[in-house]
Amino acid sequence: MEPLKEKIVLNIGGLRYETYTSTLQALPGTKLCHLTEPQAATTFDYDPDTKEFFFDRSSCLFEEVLNYYRTKQLHCPDLICKSVLDEELAFWGLSNTPLSPCCWQKLTIAEGQKEEYGIWEEDQDVAGLLDQAERNHSSWQGRWQTRIWTVFEKPFSSLSAKGLAAVSLLFNIGICILFIAETYEHYLSVHITENHSNFTVFHSEVDYFIYIHFSYLLYLELFCVLWFTLEFFLRLISCPNKKKFLQSPLNMADFLSLFPIYIDVSLKGYPTSNWHFAFWLGFFRALYFFKLLKVLKLVETPVTLKVLSYTSRATIREIITLLMIFFFEILFFGSLGYFGDLTEDSPETFFTDIGSSFWWAVITLTTVGYGDVHPISTAGKLIGACTALCGVLTIIAPIPFFFIKFKGYYDAAMIVEKRKSKKKQAFTLPS
């Protein structure tokens, strides 16, 4: 028999495979190619009676390995983890072998699901800080630090924690009600008559909007913020990881929301007509509503909210790309709309400047359509129609991607929840 037509028998996990030596020699340097060498019988597990080489490996994956020697295309069986495939390829000396496009997409989706599951398994910030606090339970200071932190972060850990959570919830609701009530009385319209000359009777009447803070609302808000200040610094002092505590967005919002009332107290409620000053005070006061998110500590956070959080973080790059596309479309269609509406000899136009056309482009691309600003000319209307169509396509195109990501995290969340429920059942079973 010719050497190239000589056959070789392989026993892989109990299944016998027979092939030509020329097939195994197609990839020099690999383990199967070494079987064709003269000293292979002494190097590998060779049975002279059956004249076959034995390997205690997966026969299912070996079929794909052997098929790669024949066709130079590597495929992957269904329901096979990528890490198992990589390990098997490394054993046969085929590391870094590219998969066929049909199987690469399948394994990429599976690998993404594994990543989503791994991210979901990571401990949350509060849980990690609680674990770290429990490890610092040795010293006297560590014990009190752990107790204070647990009282604030675990509402159902004790009766005092429940009472503190109820009081904190009442203050959170109260400060939000005060914020809404203050907007009705912060800004007053004052009608002032000015005399511009002492010799002639010439007056001008001007309306001013003045920012003023009334005393009873000021004191009520100050009382609530004093409680929040005490709560914030107690949590900061008792927190086992100060850096991680200050990096939390909710904690930063709590800290920034403490300043507006103290600035108002320093002014003693005196009125001011500085609109920038009133804006920034109102902006930081709006952070009060973030305190309502602490209500989630009193109930089990819905899985959907957790999934939305992970999905938002995972798709942040895609969201930024989408916003960049929208920004380009706003500039492009806004400019076209402004100059397109000037093509006809008509003095009537809603676009007083190019800034108003950019506003129109934003409203049209997002399909909101206020109608306060719109093109009048024929060319402007055609541009407006193209703007609306591009806005619809820009919004619709990434929806499947976000849906796939959301579904991946949701499936991973369901697996984690089932595992937790099974663990709880295992602990509650009688011995």
* pLDDT at residue 329, as a whole number: 94
Residues in the chain: 431
Q: Does residue 375 share a domain with residue 419?
A: yes
Is 285 in the same domain as 426? no
Same domain assignment for residues 130 and 277 = yes
Same domain? For 368 and 431 the reply is: yes
| pLDDT at residue 362 in the model | 94
| pLDDT number for residue 197 | 45
* Residue 238 neighbours by CB under 8 Å, 6+ apart: 133, 144, 145, 146, 148, 149, 152
The answer on pLDDT for 227 being more than 50 is yes
User: 302 or 115: whose pLDDT is higher?
Assistant: 302
The predicted structure's pLDDT at residue 125: 47
pLDDT of residue 141: 63
Residue at 51 is within a domain? yes
Residue 311, in any domain of the structure: yes
DSSP secondary structure letters along 295-358: GGGGSPPPHHHHHHHHHHHHTHHHHHHHHHHHHHHHHHHHHHHHHHTTSSS-S--S-SSHHHHH
203 and 62 part of one domain: no
In terms of domains, do 331 and 263 share one?
A: no
CA-CA distance, 382 to 364, in Å (whole number)? 13
251 and 381 both lie in a single domain? no
Cα separation, 146 vs 201, whole angstroms: 75
Q: What is the pTM of this model?
A: 0.57
Structural domain includes residue 204: yes
Tell me, what's the pLDDT at 214? 53
Task: Tally the domains of the chain.
Answer: 3
R_g over Cα of the chain: 35
173 falls within a domain: yes
pLDDT computed for residue 361 by the predictor:
94
Check pLDDT > 70 for residue 176: yes
Question: Within a domain: residue 112?
Answer: no
pLDDT over 60 at 199, yes or no: no
Percent of the chain with pLDDT over 90: 13
Residue 117 lies in a domain: no
CATH of the domain at 47: 3.30.710.10
% helix, strand, coil for the chain, step of 5: 65, 10, 25
Together in a domain, 306 and 290: no
Mean pLDDT computed over 229-257:
86
**Given the structure tokens 């040795």, which residue do they identify?**
138
* Distance separating alpha carbons of residues 321 and 332, to the nearest angstrom: 17
Residue 109 has pLDDT above 60, yes or no: no
Instruction: Encode pLDDT of 253-272 as tens digits.
Output: 888 888 888 887 777 655 55
Q: Over 216-267, what HEC string results?
A: HHHHHHHHHHHHHHHHHHHHHHHCCCHHHHHCCHHHHHHHHCCHHHHHHHHH
According to the model, what pLDDT value does residue 351 have? 84
In tens, the pLDDT along 65-95 reads 888 898 888 887 776 777 788 888 889 888 8
> Over the chain, what is the mean pLDDT?
77
Q: How far is CA 309 from CA 286, 297, 404, 409, 410, in A?
A: 22, 16, 15, 10, 11
155 and 171 housed in the same domain: yes
Say if strands 52-55 and 7-12 run parallel, antiparallel, or are unpaired. parallel
**Pairing mode, if any, of strands 46-47 and 15-20?**
unpaired
Q: What is the pLDDT of residues 384-405, one digit of tens each?
A: 999 999 999 999 988 888 888 8
Model confidence band, residue 5 (pLDDT cutoffs 50, 70, 90):
low
The pLDDT assigned to 365 comes to 93
- Averaged pLDDT, 230-234: 91
Whether 116 is in a domain gets the answer no
Same domain assignment for residues 272 and 254: yes
> Which structural domain, as residue segments, surrounds residue 171?
125-298
Output the domain CATH number for residue 390.
1.10.287.70
Look at residues 269, 298, 327 and tell me which one is the last residue of a structural domain.
298
Verify that 141 and 153 share a domain, yes or no.
yes
> Quick one: pLDDT band at residue 123, thresholds 50, 70, 90?
very low
Q: How far apart are CA 293 and CA 47, in angstroms?
A: 70
Same domain? For 270 and 376 the reply is: no
For residue 34, tell me if it sits in a domain: yes
**pLDDT band of 124, cuts 50, 70, 90:** very low
Q: Does 202 score more than 50 pLDDT?
A: no
Choose from 111-115, 191-195, 379-383 the range with maximum mean pLDDT: 379-383
Residue 241 has what pLDDT?
Answer: 80
| DSSP for 145-169, written as a single string | HHHHHHHHH-TTSSHHHHHHHHHHH
> pLDDT higher for 345 or 74?
74
Q: List, in order, residues 6 or more apart from 420 with CB less than 8 Å away.
A: none
Among residues 272, 298, 324, which one ends one of the domains?
298
150 pLDDT more than 80: yes
Percentage of the chain with pLDDT > 70? Answer: 74
H or E element at residue 110: helix 101-121
Q: What sign has the CA pseudo-torsion 89, 92, 97, 98?
A: negative
**pLDDT at site 297:** 64
Kindly state the tokens that stand for 208: 């001013």
pLDDT average, residue stretch 116-122: 52
- Residue where a domain stops, chosen among 298, 318, 333: 298
Most confident of 5-9, 183-187, 221-225: 221-225
The DSSP bridge partners found for residue 11 are 16, 54
pLDDT band of 147, cuts 50, 70, 90: confident
* Residues near 272 by beta carbon (within 8 Å), at least 6 away in sequence: 210, 211, 212, 278
Give the pLDDT score at 192.
46
